[in-house]
Amino acid sequence: MFTTDADSLLLLCHPHVETRVPMDDVAAAPSLTPMAQSFSHLQAGSRLLPYHENLYRLIFRFLFFNRHVGVLYSCLSISDDGRCDERAIYVISRHETIDHAELIVLEKVAKAVCVDPQVLYHTATFDDCVYDHAQLRPPLCSTIEAGSSVAEWERLNEQQIQYTYGTLTYHAVASSDLLANPFALRFDGKDFLKISEGAGRSTETLMLSALEDWTKALDQGGNIDVIYFDFAKAFDRVPFNELISKLVNIGLHPRIVNWIKNFITGRSFQVRVNESFSHSHPVTSGVPQGGVLSPILFIIYTSQIPGLVSRYGVSCKMFADDIKIYKNISSNDDRVALQSAISAILEWSVEWKLPLSSPKTKLFHLGRSREENAYFLGDVQLSSTNTICDLGFTLNTNLTFDDHCRIIARRADHVVHNIFRSLSTKSPAHLLVAYKSYVRPILEYGATVFSPKSKRSISRLEAVQNSFTRKLWIRLHGYDYANTPPAFIRNCTFSIPTLDMRIRKYDLVMAYKIISGKVNLPTNKFYTVSPSCTRGGPFKITFQTAKTSLRSSFFTQRAGSVFLRLSKKYILPHSLAQYKRLVDKFLKESA
């Protein structure tokens, strides 16, 4: 069995949390620290489980698994003798305070495993130091050095334990965090931000990059053909041998390649119908769904595609298995080039055993020309569509997001209804936390991409918050419709800014990130930045004047014009946190 020192892992917990432990438990583990003793036995239903099994589950769940608790950074470095560098693995916290919604989640899981919620709360919010990597090196590095310990981690984490409040299942995807840092995307000294077009970008920044190309071309009177590819069961079809060969070809250390091979192979599956189970069958292809490492492995596997299409002058945008290519079509040669790129991707998919789905591969035409070109995937002509869902954003051939605004408004309104149906509290603070935690993310994620232009879409989104504040006012003061104040007064009463103001803030923050290089987007693609020693900060931006309303309402023009006014009025700070406070002040003064 894979074992480790309990005290080493328990250094992750807050040292000042005091817990009362039964004397029997202390006697059973006399060498443990007081914090370790508090975890020495966790009661599950009517029985006590060995402390080390629960310790693993607790640490995996609240540190390696939960993005709100901690981040496991791993820039693995292996020496010539095949051993991990003792400086390779270390753990740091997010340096952020935990909010009320996250605390509720912690409390629920804590009750499920019969642990004092305060223990987990202090564990989660302990963010004032970098933990000693030497304490964690032996248990974590051993999986890399051996290359065969993953199965034991899987066996440990896949056990289902019956708790008092139900069944909780923990999977082995936590172990893949040893190699995959979702924020740095680095291991064994290889920088995978350079391997793929989409690596290191969010859906928001990737959409901004594509829309920048499209709106700029349309502003010049161009016509763009976009091809959206769909791999048939992409993550489940990745062949093991071909994936391992790609890992070897990009220069990963044999130990890490062996670790990944053990991670993805040796799995099996069963089918359950009621209480009957089928025979177990081996998994012969695919990467585990939901694993932190899986998208990175898929990016590595498909990393050749941008290079294949670039030789034809075709642009490519990738986000895991979502791939689109596009080209400004001004002549028949451009159409032939795009068709050649499609054929190249088809040949690649056949060679690397990752088949494309012809019915789901679509043509999306943008521009004034209504004459659509014909493109073929093999012998099948691609069907065109006027509406597409691209990385979660629904857009049409006019590049408006009215349908997207309608969809998210309906979803958010449904959540508002469920909040008031599920929570009986009259506390405005609790209801506002629920609104900010569950409703706002639906309305605001990617707001720089879909920022509504039409009055109908703006009213539709604002109506969600108006509905919430009206329900909240009625919850506090009763059904007195005659004395219910209008929406803007309710917003002021509950200190909630309008959605329009928050979207303008997102625009200014994203513009600052692009200009200062804080996101993985090329600054010169959006703005021309020149150094400055005058009032307004260390740089000045310029951008091309738009000719069409589509371009003038896009992020580059929309945010750039407001950013110029902000930089003329204030000296821009270097700190992002200070800049956000400055934006809040600027928007309040401009309201």
Which pLDDT value is given to residue 477? 87
**Contact status, residue 158 vs residue 169, Cβ threshold 8 Å:** yes
Here the contacts of 397-402 (C-beta below 8 Å, separation 24 or greater) are 397/364, 397/365, 397/366, 398/550, 399/211, 399/214, 399/215, 399/218, 399/366, 399/550, 400/453, 400/454, 401/449, 401/450, 401/452, 401/457, 402/452, 402/454, 402/456, 402/457
Q: What is the average pLDDT value for the chain, to the nearest integer?
A: 71
Highest averaged pLDDT of the listed ranges 24-33, 210-219, 528-537: 210-219
Which pLDDT value is given to residue 161? 29
pLDDT in tens, 336-349: 999 999 999 999 99
DSSP β-bridge partners for residue 317: 324
Q: Is 483 or 204 the better-scoring residue by pLDDT?
A: 204
Which pLDDT value is given to residue 175? 38
Assign 84 to helix, strand or coil. strand
Q: What's the average model confidence in pLDDT over 253-271? A: 80
Domain ranges of the chain: 6-178, 191-399, 404-496, 511-590
With a cut of 90, say whether residue 364 has pLDDT above it. Answer: yes
Q: What's the average model confidence in pLDDT over 363-386? A: 89
Which pLDDT value is given to residue 233? 82
Which pLDDT value is given to residue 126? 32
* Both structure tokens of 286: 């695919």
Read off the pLDDT band of 538 (50, 70, 90): low
Q: What's the average model confidence in pLDDT over 234-239? A: 84
DSSP E strands in 464-554: the ranges are 528-531, 539-542
Write the CA distances from 86 to 12, 75, 146, 191, 293, integer angstroms: 18, 11, 15, 20, 22
Q: What's the average model confidence in pLDDT over 572-589? A: 90
Q: Which of 61, 68, 105 is nearest to 434 (CA)?
A: 105
Which pLDDT value is given to residue 252? 77
Which pLDDT value is given to residue 361? 93
Which pLDDT value is given to residue 132? 35
With a cut of 50, say whether residue 4 has pLDDT above it. Answer: no
pLDDT in tens, 385-406: 999 999 999 999 999 999 999 9
Q: Which of 210, 323, 203, 259 is nearest to 74 (CA)?
A: 259
With a cut of 60, say whether residue 528 has pLDDT above it. Answer: yes
Here the contacts of 581-584 (C-beta below 8 Å, separation 24 or greater) are 583/505, 583/508, 583/509, 584/505
Q: CA-CA distance, 192 to 206, in Å (whole number)? A: 16
- Fill in the amino acid letter for 333: D
Other C-beta atoms lying within 10 Å of the C-beta of residue 300: 22
DSSP β-bridge partners for residue 268: 282
pLDDT in tens, 82-114: 444 433 333 323 333 334 444 444 444 444 434
pLDDT in tens, 139-153: 445 555 555 544 444
Q: What's the average model confidence in pLDDT over 265-290? A: 82
Assign 522 to helix, strand or coil. coil
